[in-house]
Amino acid sequence: MYLPLRIGCLPSEGLVEESMTPKERFLNACQRRPVDRPPVWMMRQAGRYLPEYRAVRQQKTTLQMMKDPETACEITLQPVRRLGVDAAILYSDILIVPEAMGLKLDFVKDQGPVFENPVRGQEDIEKLNIQNIPDRCDFVYQTIKRIKKKLGLLPLLGFAGAPFTVGTYMVGGDGSYEGHRLKKFALENRQSFHQLMDKITEATLEYLAKQVETGAEAIQLFDTWAGTLSSEDYELMALPYERKILSALKSLGVPTLLYIKGGSHLFEKMLTSKADVMSIDWRMDLAQARTLASGKAAIQGNLDPAHLYGSPQQIEESISKMIDVAGKEPGYIINLGHGMMPDIPVENAQTFVDVSKKLGLRTVS
């Protein structure tokens, strides 16, 4: 039997009542408008730390789960039911787009995503098919439709990988990330590199626009591996493509979030990307991010996921520090600085959500 959806929570004694739906709270925070408390969700909140996810995983492969709308919908909703987070994020993968472009994708145990036919040169780029991308990803949109029917008062985040990050896997091909591969490709084949980025950008734009059309109320763009770039190379190799995608999404009227792992040295340039929310990892000083982003973007993050191995008291102390620094003014979303790890105890994830709600209500923004 499935757990019922948990929407909101009962305030502890002495705290103000929640006065917004999760959807209102999240969308207001993205736009730096006042909220009753900072919203809370977790990157990779649907996944292997949940026993109900592991039960599904025993029956199906990763691709089977993603491509079966009923299953993908169920996995998306699992953390909403169990934890009572303020937002759901679509269960899918950033490599669905390159698969739709013609690369044969598989997820290999103990290795990760593997492309049978990676991009090695100009001829491979020319073979990539970016026509009618949404038609080859219809299972994603069918999943969104199912989620929307069941999600109620919570917002749904869609997402995709940014071109530089997606390109690292398309060129690497073997499931491991070695940043030098795409950089080497770019230096040896500058024109081909930008042609590849252009193709990924166009395909991603169509893919995300259809997510919005189908019902996604916000979009997170993951440029995870852009943090391996110098500031100069980021401005040349990643930022223009982020900006093109995020600007187009802005015209569709949905909030956008940009995440870069290890991107603290890029933060000021990230602010020019047109994203509404800067999602930062634990390497970025939260107070500094708040100051730099003031008047420009909201902030999401940035607890080190490893802190969720701590005691309830340690988790509460970490959240309290984040809220004290960033949660007293509009434009803050409580989240991790990276995705949930598979061996984090479920009860610790629950503590993260419950404490974030409790402490957030003490500092109404």
Query: Which of 6, 33, 57, 243 is labelled catalytic?
Result: 57
β-pairing, 112-115 vs 105-108, is antiparallel
- Tokens matching residue 115: 């492309």
- Residue 279 pairs with which residues in a beta bridge? 259, 300
* Contact in structure between 346 and 82 (CB atoms under 8 Å): yes
Amino acid in position 257: L
DSSP state of 157: E
Give the active site residue among 93, 223, 276, 281: 93
Q: Is residue 44 flagged as an active site residue?
A: yes
354 is catalytic: no
Radius of gyration over alpha carbons of the chain, in Å? Answer: 20
Q: Which tokens hold the place of 144?
A: 């969104």
Among residues 44, 81, 243, 362, the one annotated as catalytic is 44
Given 6, 48, 243, 283, which residue is catalytic? 48
Give me the residues paired with residue 316 across strands. none
In 83-122, which positions are buried (b, 16+ CB within 10 angstroms) versus exposed (e)? bbbbbbbbbbbbbbbbbbbebebebeeeeebbbeebbeee
- Of 169, 207, 241, 332, which one is the catalytic site residue? 169
Determine whether 93 is an active site residue: yes
Our answer to whether residue 48 is catalytic in this structure is yes
Give the position of tokens 């100051």. Answer: 291
Beta-carbon neighbour count of residue 334 at 10 Å? 29
Give catalytic residue positions.
44, 48, 57, 93, 169
